[in-house]
Structure 1
Amino acid sequence: MATVLLLADWRGSTERRAKSMEMNSVWKAFDLMLLTFLISFLVAVTNSVSAQVNTMTNLSCFTHSIKDLIMTTWEILLRDRAPCIIAYREDKNETKETNCSGEGITWESRPEWNHKLQIDPVTVDNDGYYKCIFVTPAGNFQTVHHLTVLVPPVVTLSEEGNRTVECKAVAGKPAAQISWVPKGDCFTVNETHHNRTVTVKSTCTWKGFNGSSATCFISHLTGNKNVSIEHQSHSK
């Protein structure tokens, strides 16, 4: 009889331990799910920004107030380059950089005062992703900027003879759009260069056109232009 009771107690204890382990496992899974939710909630800010070449631009970091800051880090991911990392530690009042030489990228002011990143001047090579991370005891706060560099095209217009005119938007980024007044028999070709700028060439012919001029309209994110050519005087 005692043996039966001991066996029953052992089975009951085993079942309780199994249930306890099961509950612990459930809570661990819940904690992991909660942690994942919190991380995804904190790392939530992504922006698309643009800047014109040969200007200065500032990229802001997390905009809310941060308490007990441990470290601020900018991670810069550019095309065909190793990641550039600029980090500031609050406890040591120390700044370090890795793989950032020659990029023209610095803090806007002292990092403990202002966490904005400054690029001066902006070049085509600055196209990429800029990730700012605030490290705090409560978690990490992250902001990501996707920077697109804009390059205004150089516009040329020339008469090729036989009432044929060629309009070029040279080395723009992104590619320009070209249209004509009056409309003629036109064809357009794009040429992409190694630095990702694009030259757009549009050639038009007007047969039976009695007007004296043709106008090329260039549309671009950096500003629109139009140029005209006089057929009779060949003046632009």
Structure 2
Amino acid sequence: MPCTWRTSDLQLLLILTVFLVPECINTGVEGPVIVSNSTQQMGNYSLASCMDDKQNDSKLLPEVNISLHVLVGTKAVLSCPEILLDNVLVTTWEIILRHKPLSIKAYRSDLNETTEVNSTDKRITWAFRPDQNPALLIYPVALTHDGYYRCQMATPNGNFHRGYNLQVLVAPEVTLFRRENGTTECKAVAGKPAAEIFWIPEGNCVPHKKNWDNDTETVWSTCYWEDSNVSTVFCFVSHQTGNKSLSVELSEGASKPQNIRMLCIILSVFIILVIMGSIWLLKISGCRKCKLKKTEGTPAEEDEMQPYASYTEKKNPLYDTTNRVKTSHVLQSEVDGTGLHAFYVTGL
């Protein structure tokens, strides 16, 4: 429960003096009458009312405390006791947050004035006009708004109180997955308050927990099942913001990493083969083009040389006959000179 600070008491006393002394002077009372309600639990002051008649003493009515849970990032509206506002002299909100001094917001109806002490958080304001509805608005709700809020309303008939124990909730992020070593992990990350984890069926589980600086907590549970007949497991996460349930297949979870590895290996081999085949086809097509160019150049040269070669290699009958006639005349002349005419005739 929150504690009382002397500085805050002096500030509250100053507010009461400024608000109530003029009222008491106007009504002819000898001095301000302040009724103090210093309890050990709350350590706060209740406002006093100045009465026209000393016989009418201020009454401290029973205080109502409400536990309020609000999700972070949402809007919270805290209302005062439901009484007739025409009878309310002063309305005061006391705000006690952790690791922060007492904060006060007050409204005096007869002067239509508001005052604030240590009220630096702009997310905490009056929800409406204080003279119409003195409710308190917190928007957006943050983790630092955990604390105690109390509305005090001073009337001629007594002081009315309503307090709120405000707790800010944060929904955890839930995950469930199977590790390669065969264990299964269920995790609830950054919840406020801490979540609770249950398994169906129950296995050999080890719980873990980690606290963060922003008052959130991460819990997780690592389990394994010795029974080979267990094929599906369920993880239940219980939290004030809502319950969640996840499931995982143990058999599929165990074979999935191996299947992924095999698929990656097959794809890698296939890609390598495709690349090598493409390179080989490019080389073959390049060699064929070179050979075609060479074969196309050789016949042209042979065709250019062929007429001359055929002319020289082929025998000309006319040329041969002329040679023979010349040869026969030469031989005849020689025979005539030597007397070998008979041999020549015989040779013809």
Describe the SS at the equivalent of 1:133.
strand
Partner of 1:109: 128
Query: Deviations for 1:137-177, whole angstroms, at most 9, x for unmatched residues?
Result: 33321111111111111112222233201111111111111
Structure (1/2) with the larger helix percentage: 2
Describe the SS at the equivalent of 1:125.
helix
C-alpha separation between the residues in 1 aligned to 2:154 and 2:247? 57
Query: Deviations for 1:179-220, whole angstroms, at most 9, x for unmatched residues?
Result: 112211012122222222111111101123333332211011
Which TM-score applies when normalising by structure 2?
0.54
Describe the SS at the equivalent of 2:221.
strand
Describe the SS at the equivalent of 2:110.
coil
Cα separation, partners in 2 of 1:103 and 1:220, compared to 1, 3 Å:
farther
C-alpha separation between the residues in 2 aligned to 1:57 and 1:209? 51
Describe the SS at the equivalent of 2:125.
strand
Tell me the CA shift for residue 103 of structure 1: 4.8
Alignment of 1:216-231 (within 5 A): 216-231=235-250
RMSD: 2.0
Partner of 2:175: 156
Alignment of 1:58-77 (within 5 A): 58-77=77-96
Tell me the CA shift for residue 124 of structure 1: 1.2
Match among 133, 138, 161 for residue 119 of structure 1: 138
Question: Percent same amino acid among aligned pairs?
Answer: 46
Kept in 2: contact 1:44–1:143 (CA 8 A): yes
Please list every run of at least 4 consecutive aligned residues from structure 1 whose deviation after the TM superposition is greater than 6 angstroms: none
Match among 202, 205, 220 for residue 201 of structure 1: 220
Tell me the CA shift for residue 43 of structure 1: 3.9
Match among 80, 104, 120 for residue 99 of structure 2: 80
Query: Quick check: 1:52 aligned with 2:59?
Result: no
Tell me the CA shift for residue 67 of structure 1: 4.2
- Report which structure shows greater RCO (CA 8 Å, sep ≥6): 1
Aligned AA for 1:205?
A: Y
Query: Deviations for 1:79-114, whole angstroms, at most 9, x for unmatched residues?
Result: 000112111111221122222223511111111111
Structure number, greater radius of gyration: 2
Alignment of 1:135-154 (within 5 A): 135-154=154-173
5+ residue gaps, structure 1: 1-34
Tell me the CA shift for residue 227 of structure 1: 1.4
C-alpha separation between the residues in 1 aligned to 2:250 and 2:117? 58
Count of residue pairs the alignment pairs up: 199
Describe the SS at the equivalent of 1:161.
coil
Describe the SS at the equivalent of 2:87.
coil
Kept in 2: contact 1:186–1:202 (CA 8 A): yes
C-alpha separation between the residues in 2 aligned to 1:226 and 1:138? 54
C-alpha separation between the residues in 2 aligned to 1:144 and 1:171? 29
Structure (1/2) with the larger strand percentage: 1
Aligned AA for 1:199?
A: T
Cα separation, partners in 2 of 1:64 and 1:210, compared to 1, 3 Å:
same
Kept in 1: contact 2:188–2:220 (CA 8 A): yes
Kept in 1: contact 2:85–2:131 (CA 8 A): no
Aligned AA for 2:78?
A: L
